[in-house]
Every structure is written in structure tokens, then in C-alpha cells.
Amino acid sequence: MVDTAERALVQTQLEDLRGACSSGFGTLPGEEVVSYYPPEMERHAHLFGLAGTNIDGTQWSVGDADVRFPLHSICKVFTYGLALEDNGRDETMRRVGVEPSGDPFNSITFDEVNHRPFNPMINAGALVAANLVRGGDRDERVARLLDRYRTYAGNPDLQVDQDILAAQLVSNDRNLGISYLMRSLGMLDGDIEDNLFVYLSACSITVTAAELSVMGATLAHGGRNPLTGDRALAREYTRSIISVMTMCGMYDAAGEWTHDVGIPAKSGVSGGIMAAIPAYFGLGVYSPGLDRHGNSVRGVAVCRELSARFGLHVFADPSESQFGRVAQPELT
Ligand code: GLN
């Protein structure tokens, strides 16, 4: 169990980081807001929430960690998880790869050699993952996804925000284009509108940064929610998901992210970032201003600093950091 001193140290550091990353943008390359999604979310520019959940159940939260926002691309992680469970590794791999594309999330590019989208963290691959989720009709597929998402978050009240879904369904030309192309190439089956409904419903599920940190902790905990003890995903698939997050989770900045920050993570254009450090903890961040890749500007900044102070980079020696890895549960 995390002791009181460790808990207080992390809380103080999170508060310090939130303050440090709230101002001073534009001073480092890439630290500038270039857009908000949707643009009217600029009115939420001031929001900045940060939360952590240790796999032993200890939680931290700072700032606007209880404000709800849609998952958007963060949903791709959990939808891929259910696709893996429903179809197994080999069939899922046949339909969607695990290679970083280096292209923006909504690019119209495919792995021509293997006849599939590059990975499930870009829209093309996420649409195939949604296609792989089983169910009698689109409502049943959404209900199955929602049920899993609730288990990851430990909140039985998670919902699809119908206004956000409706807005996405009417401004969806690019995803429609990608879908029709994939169907013509034999990469996608069935009704395209239904599949988009499933994918966009998952994008429209709203969470808080605090819940996002629990979802990350569930992945870090081998697929079992550390607060409720409920299983959200078969253990054997967590490794697949976390690997793909590491290589492809931060859009076309994934390489730089893994190089500099080194934490498996997934971002969404609503300004959320979820991170999962295996056998350690989950992190949830919310701040709506986006950089040119579509990643939260403050979210990236805070994760970079957190990684440096606490030695979180998965490929680095934690002893090089200021504090090292505090509050890391012992593996039994
Ligand atoms: N709902 C958005 C879309 O598909 C999600 C995109 C994102 O977060 N990058 O287009």
C-alpha cells in the first residue's frame, strides 16, 4: 500500500505540475494551442484536470478532474480490446495490423501488402475494430461496448452523450469516405452507417479525468479494475493493447512521445490523454487546447514532466529521475 508520505509527495508534485503547465505556453517548440475540437470548446480552454490511480487503489486528483468530456479517439483502445476478445488475436490481426502509420489519425492510407488498416488507433483501423465487435444489431454492439467501458471505469452510469453523437453523425464525411473505400477493398463488412454509429457512439461516451485514470489503471492491472475488482478485459489482451498504445497512441506524434515521455498512452481530440503503466498506475488528463497533431498541449507537457520527475519512461533507468518510481506496488 502507498504510504502517507508517498501519497503526499505525489499530490504535491501533481499540484505543482498543474501550475507549471498552466501557463507559459509558446516557450518550447510545440507548446502552442493550434485548435479546439469542436471549435466552440475554446470556451473550456481554462479547464485542466489531472488524476492518477495506482493499481493498489490509491487515487490522486488535481484541478478539473471531475468535468465530463467525450472520449473520442481514446475509445479506440477499449473497442480494440473487445474486438480481440470477440475474435481472438489471429483473426483480429488479419483484419487490422499493429504497425505505426506515421500519418494523421484520419488519413486515407492502408497497409496494401497485408490488405488491412495499419493499426487500430487510427480511424481506419478503429472502424475495422468496431466492425469486429459482435452483436445482433448496432444497438447491441453499442450496449456491449458501453458495458465494458463501464467496467473499465468502475462507473455503471457511463453514457453515450446523444448530442455529441448527433453532431458527429452529421459531420462525418471523412469517416464515411474511409469506410466506403475500405468496403470496396474488402476490408470492412456490412452496413457502413451502422458501423459508423457504433464507432461514433463509443467516441461520444463521456468520462472525467478521474475515471480515465481508473480506465488506465485497469489496463495497467492486467484488465481488472483495481477499485471494483471486476474484469474488463481478458488478461492475455492487455499486452496487445498497451503495445499498440506505445507505438501508435499519440497520432503522428507517437514516435516523439515514446522517445521523450515513454509512457503507453492514448489521446483524443477532446483534449483527453489516458496513460497506462503496466503493473503500476493509470493517468487521466483533460485540457482541451490541441497541438498540430491533435494532442492536448497541456496534457503532453504535464506527462513529459511527470515522466521525468518520477522515472516513468518505460525504457529509461528510473534512478536517473528526481524521485524515482514512488508508490510502485510490489509484484507478488
Ligand atoms: N470522433 C472523432 C473521429 O472519428 C475522433 C477523432 C479523434 O479523437 N482523433 O473522427
CATH assignment of the domain containing 104: 3.40.710.10
Q: In terms of domains, do 184 and 233 share one?
A: no
185 CA to centre of ligand 1 in angstroms: 22
Answer yes or no: are the C-beta atoms of 148 and 233 closer than 8 Å: yes
Element (H, E) at 49: strand 49-54
On whether both 82 and 189 belong to a single domain, the answer is yes
The one-digit pLDDT tens for each residue of the chain (332 residues) are: 778 888 898 889 888 888 888 865 545 556 788 899 999 999 999 999 999 999 999 999 999 999 999 999 999 999 999 999 999 999 999 999 999 987 888 888 898 889 999 999 999 999 999 999 999 999 999 999 999 999 999 999 999 999 999 999 999 999 999 999 999 999 999 999 999 999 999 999 999 999 999 999 999 999 999 999 999 999 999 999 999 999 999 988 989 999 999 999 999 999 999 999 999 999 999 999 999 999 999 999 999 999 999 999 988 887 888 887 877 887 65
The last residue of a domain, from among 188, 203, 218: 203
Q: Give me ligand 1 centre to Cα 73, in Å.
A: 5
Domain assignment of residue 296, yes or no: yes
Omega prior to 38 cis, within 30 of 0: yes
- Domain for residue 330, yes or no? no
Which residue is it, cell 468535468? 67
Q: Which domain holds residue 67?
A: 4-71+207-320
Residue 331 placed within a domain: no
Q: Decide: 130 in ligand 1 pocket, CB within 6 A.
A: no
**Counting atoms of ligand 1 from 1, which one is nearest the CA of 174?**
10
3 state SS for 225-292? CCCCCCECCCHHHHHHHHHHHHHHCCHHHHHHHHHHCCCCEEECCCCEEEEEECCCEEEEEECCCECC
Q: In whole angstroms, what is the distance from residue 164 CA to residue 36 CA?
A: 15
Q: What is the largest CA-CA distance in the chain?
A: 59
* 212 and 305 housed in the same domain: yes
Supply the pLDDT for residue 316.
Answer: 85
Please check whether residue 51 is in contact with residue 212, taking contact to mean a CB–CB distance below 8 angstroms.
Answer: yes
Ligand 1 centroid from CA 207, angstroms:
15
Q: Which three cell numbers stand for residue 136?
A: 445482433
Whether residue 165 sits in one domain with residue 84: yes
Instruction: Please state, in angstroms and rounded to a whole number, the distance separating the CA atoms of residues 277 and 300.
Output: 16
The runs of H, that is alpha helices, within 71-172 are 75-95, 123-132, 138-153, 162-170
In a domain, 282, yes or no: yes
At residue 71, the pLDDT reads: 98
CA 122 to centroid of ligand 1, rounded, Å = 9
pLDDT at position 70, please?
98
Q: Which residues contact 294 (CB under 8 A, 6 or more apart)?
A: 35, 37, 73, 104, 105, 251, 267, 269
Task: Take atom 4 of ligand 1 and give the residue whose Cα is closest.
Answer: 123
Determine, yes or no, domain membership for 329. no
In a domain, 327, yes or no: no
| 221 & 296 share domain | yes
Give pLDDT tens digits for 289-319. Answer: 999 999 999 999 999 999 999 999 988 887 8
Same domain (yes/no): 33, 10:
yes
Query: Is 313 found in the same domain as 215?
Result: yes
Q: Ligand 1, residues 37, 69, 105: which to mutate, most atoms within 8 A of Cβ? A: 105
Contact partners, residue 8, CB within 8 Å, separation at least 6: none
The predicted pLDDT at position 87 comes to: 98
Ligand 1 neighbourhood includes 105 CB (under 6 angstroms): yes
Return the pLDDT at 23: 67
Closest of 216, 111, 123, 223 to residue 172, by C-alpha: 123
Neighbour order of strands in the sheet with 49-54: 59-63, 49-54, 281-286, 272-277, 265-267
Ligand 1 pocket test: pick from 35, 106, 212, 274 the residue with the most ligand atoms within 8 Å of its Cβ.
106
103 and 67 inside one domain:
no
What ligand 1 atom has the least distance to the C-alpha of 199? 4
Using most ligand atoms within 8 A of CB, pick from 123, 274, 286 the residue to mutate for ligand 1. Answer: 123
Q: How far apart are CA 235 and CA 191, in angstroms?
A: 31
72 lines ligand 1 (CB under 6 A): yes
> Same domain, yes or no, for 213 and 249?
yes
Q: Which pLDDT score is estimated for 5?
A: 87
110 occurs within a structural domain:
yes
Boundary residue ending a domain (203, 222, 240): 203
Other Cβ atoms less than 10 A from the Cβ of 31: the count is: 16
144 CA to middle of ligand 1, Å? 20
Statement to judge: residues 152 and 299 lie in one domain: no
Q: Are residues 299 and 211 in the same domain?
A: yes
Q: Single out the residue in 174, 203, 232 at which a domain terminates.
A: 203
Tally of domains in the chain: 2
Residue 48 is assigned to a structural domain of this protein: yes
The verdict on 141 and 222 lying in the same domain is no
Rounded to whole angstroms, the Cα distance separating 180 from 177 reads 5
Q: Which atom of ligand 1 is nearest to the CA of 172?
A: 10
Dist. CA 63–CA 49, nearest whole Å: 5
Give the pLDDT confidence score for residue 172 in this predicted structure: 93
